[in-house]
Amino acid sequence: MAAIDDSRPIFIQIAELVESEIVAGTLAEESQVPSTNEFAAYYRINPATAAKGVNLLVERGILYKKRGIGMFVATGAREKLMANRRSAFQKQYVQPLAREARKLGINAEQLAGMIHESLTTEASEGSVL
């Protein structure tokens, strides 16, 4: 389970954790998410901070509130998050990869080969770390 650190705003980290659970499918659409007090107790953070993280996802349409019951994952949330992540993928992963490759003198062809190899072996082995 990912840990919270205090080097970035915690409410953003909480929002990201929930998003990751949704993308991974552990939090299914239309299922209930933990209450802010449960988040606070579990991650040992201030309840107001946990609430801020959950509200961020409500604003983005990822979660919605059922009065008197709690927070739920919106239908379509997973696809929305995946689309966001796909559009951030190049900046977040490919550019740093390319930068490091250049530094080490790995050319485009070699890099492509490595990526291809990783994609195929990971697919056959499952995502083992």
Partner 1 sequence: MNNAPAPAIEVRNLRKSYRELDALDGVSLTLEAGRIYGLLGRNGAGKTTLMSILTGQGFPSSGEALIFGHSPYENDEILAKICFIRESQKYPDDFNARQAFKAAALFFANWDQDLADRLVTDFALPMKRSIKKLSRGQLSAVGVIIGMAARAEVTFFDEPYLGLDAVARQIFYDRLLEDFALYPRTIVLSSHLIDEIANLLEHVVVIDKGRIMLDEDAESLRGSAVAVTGSREKVDSFINGHQVLHRDSMGSLASVTIKARLGETERAMAAELGLELSAVPLQQLVVRTTMAGLQNDNNESVEVLK
Where along the sequence are the contacts to partner 1 (CB under 8 A)? Answer: 4-11, 36-37, 40-41, 43-49, 52, 91, 95-96, 99, 103
Q: Which is nearer to partner 1, 11 or 27 (CB)?
A: 11
- For 24-47, b where at least 16 C-beta lie within 10 A, e where not — what string? eeebeeeeebbebeebbeebebee
Supply the minimum distance, in Å, between the C-beta of residue 34 and partner 1.
12
Residue ranges with strand state E in 1-129: 63-66, 70-73
Q: Which is nearer to partner 1, 10 or 63 (CB)?
A: 10
CA distance 6 to 37: 19
Q: Which is nearer to partner 1, 8 or 116 (CB)?
A: 8
Supply the minimum distance, in Å, between the C-beta of residue 60 and partner 1.
18
